[in-house]
A and B are shown apart, each in its own frame.
Chain A
């Protein structure tokens, strides 16, 4: 599904990823943990195709295609989804129009007709219930005036609408209270599927109590320095990152 080999990336001449390797199989949930500045969010941005990030070496294969060769919108249409750490507000643009444009973009890419209004509304109803946002999106602009928790729930709603092959959750748990965390996790878990993989980026082990990963990776100074089963997250919580960093030096 996703194979990252020796990935190097920089922002304005500052190298951040320095030879990252990662392989995610279909249906797998991988967690990436690591201290501030280790490159977690950079990885998410590079995979999603953000412009300010320059890939200097390495390759990323996504379902048999060269991911780095695609424009950001094409990556999305091919099934890559990024749940943003800081979802952006777009004043005056209704949530539903926004989602309709997104879905029709993907359908056009697949050679399908635009979705009918009836099917679209049915889909909205179904998916918004998943994150307990039912009936609360219609008259509002994208993320405008949303609380932190609502924004994150809206991200998961969008993910559910777009049914991606690979979903990257970039610190989706940051700023969430315990109820919102539960709702977001339920939404994600409901979408776990043999054909859908997740890359969960987080600082805290508590999210992984709710979204249980198959593999946990530790990212430090632009490289994955340790990988292990879900118990690794508990160990990190207990001991901090320093014990892992040391042997890597």
Chain B
């Protein structure tokens, strides 16, 4: 009987194609493969950028040429061939769009398949969506309403044109060009992304949401996101993504910078579901992301992420707690299945006095995957009475997967208080049998147990995202107990 069930589950898993594995047939305005100064000039010219930005890109490119890819993560993969990638692709759009009705029907169809029809989103959830198809933003909604409050929420390209002084002031201040290999690459070739500015004292009345989708075969995606929350402001920002099925690896190297000025709060939530590769580990997205926020006095930055996709993930959303009494938080669920590899975690750098940080990381490994938590808690000499609490739990679904924890703690101030807790457990056969005996089938049992395990993190997500994330966890782990 036991074998019958395993066969059945196996059949289901192998028979199930990636749920969002469809591509949209839209003509692209695409640059030839390869990376050199000319390509960077082309990107900059296509986007009609000011000279300072072109110079900034070229500087980044020069730095990048002398850098090497990091070797320290607990990851094994075929390094991307950076000269085989095309660095620019724009969906052909004839002119500026006045309303959703003007958007290419093919594109709208894609959005519908993703379940993010803008009209519905507008009407039902009050979420303003800046939809990024490949590299050029094609639709932005709720802009007028936000504009009344002085909130700027637009594509990075638009921000460069409309608000160059803001972009110039903050771009690269949190993640400097020379920060790391992928950040330098991104700085040189980023094609678009999102920009958000919340003015002093304004509480953004809705969740700002961006859906990313990699759509052009062979196109790397280099998003650049910059969120600036001015003094005493508040914003909650959502980012989520799905990608079409691909045989070749797709590179994604985004940079996200958050600036929380005095007394401001930024809540940044991500649900990430990029194509993870097939059951043999073939294909899948490479996700090398640099995310970092800087907290000024009494401000707060909270990162929440649910990571289920990508073949390889390299990502450490971090907080620099520069101002006194500032707060950094990191809540993460990272799921790996089949041959996925994730090396993810956070860095909390305590510079200011009485700065506090919390890290809750829940790793779930299934199949033959490898899931690593890597975190740094750093308390600098001036950070009197800094506090950190870290909890890193790992849940194993099979006996062929791996869970690893690499906590780094550096304390240079004797008044600091740092706590670290870690657990590793295997999903209980007793728990599953208990569910089965109540008439709950195995898939649902796993979904219940895993969602229960990840609840502390899921609870931090905005409501509409939490529901989506729960479904995602269940889909990602179907048939994965062994």
Interface residues of A (CB under 8 A from B): 48-51, 68-69, 71-73, 75-77, 81-82, 84, 87-88, 90-93, 97-99, 101-102, 105-106, 109, 141, 158, 162
Per-residue CB proximity of B447-459 to A under 8 Å, as 1/0? 0110111111000
- A interface: dominant SS: helix
A105 touches B448 (CB 8 A): no
**Known contacts A71-B1, A88-B430, A101-B444; is-contact A141 B452 (Cβ 8 Å):** yes
Q: Which of B438, B441, B455, B456 contacts A98 (CB 8 A)?
A: B438
Question: Assuming A71-B5, A72-B436, A93-B449, what are 20 further A-B pairs, CB within 8 angstroms?
Answer: A48-B437, A49-B1, A49-B436, A49-B437, A51-B429, A68-B1, A72-B433, A72-B437, A73-B440, A88-B431, A90-B431, A90-B452, A92-B451, A92-B454, A93-B448, A93-B452, A101-B435, A102-B435, A105-B438, A158-B438
In the bound complex, what is the Cα–Cα distance between A75 and B436 (angstroms)? Answer: 9
Contacts of B15 in A (CB 8 A): none
A-B contact pairs, 11 of them (CB 8 A): A71-B1, A72-B437, A76-B438, A88-B430, A90-B434, A90-B435, A92-B451, A93-B451, A97-B448, A98-B448, A102-B438
Which B residues touch A72, using CB under 8 A? 433, 436-437
Cα A77 to Cα B434 with chains together (Å): 13
- CB pair A76–B437 under 8 Å, yes or no, is yes
Q: Give chain B residues whose Cβ lies under 8 Å from the Cβ of A48.
A: 433, 437
Cross-chain contact B439 with A76 (CB below 8 angstroms):
yes
A101 and B448 contact, CB distance less than 8 A? yes
Q: How far is the CA of A158 from the CA of B437 in the complex (A)?
A: 11
User: In the complex the two chains form, is A73's CB within 8 Å of B452's CB?
Assistant: no
Q: How far is the CA of A97 from the CA of B435 in the complex (A)?
A: 12
Question: Interface on B for A, CB 8 Å cutoff?
Answer: 1-2, 5, 428-431, 433-442, 444, 448-449, 451-456
> Which residues of A sit under 8 angstroms from B451, Cβ to Cβ?
92-93
Name the 10 nearest CB pairs between A and B, nearest first: A92-B452, A76-B439, A93-B452, A92-B455, A102-B438, A72-B436, A105-B439, A88-B434, A77-B439, A73-B436
- The answer to whether A51 and B438 have CB atoms under 8 Å apart is no
**A90 engages B440 (CB within 8 Å):** no
When C-beta atoms are compared, the residue in chain B nearest to A144 turns out to be B452
* Min CB–CB distance B243 → chain A (angstroms): 29
- Among the listed A90, A92, A102, which residue makes an inter-chain contact with B439, where contact means beta carbons less than 8 Å apart? A102
| Complex Cα spacing A68 to B4, Å | 13
Nearest CB in chain B: distance from A70 CB, A: 8
Which listed residue, B428, B436, B453, B456, touches A76 by the CB 8 Å rule?
B436
In angstroms, how far is the closest chain B Cβ from the Cβ of A117?
A: 16
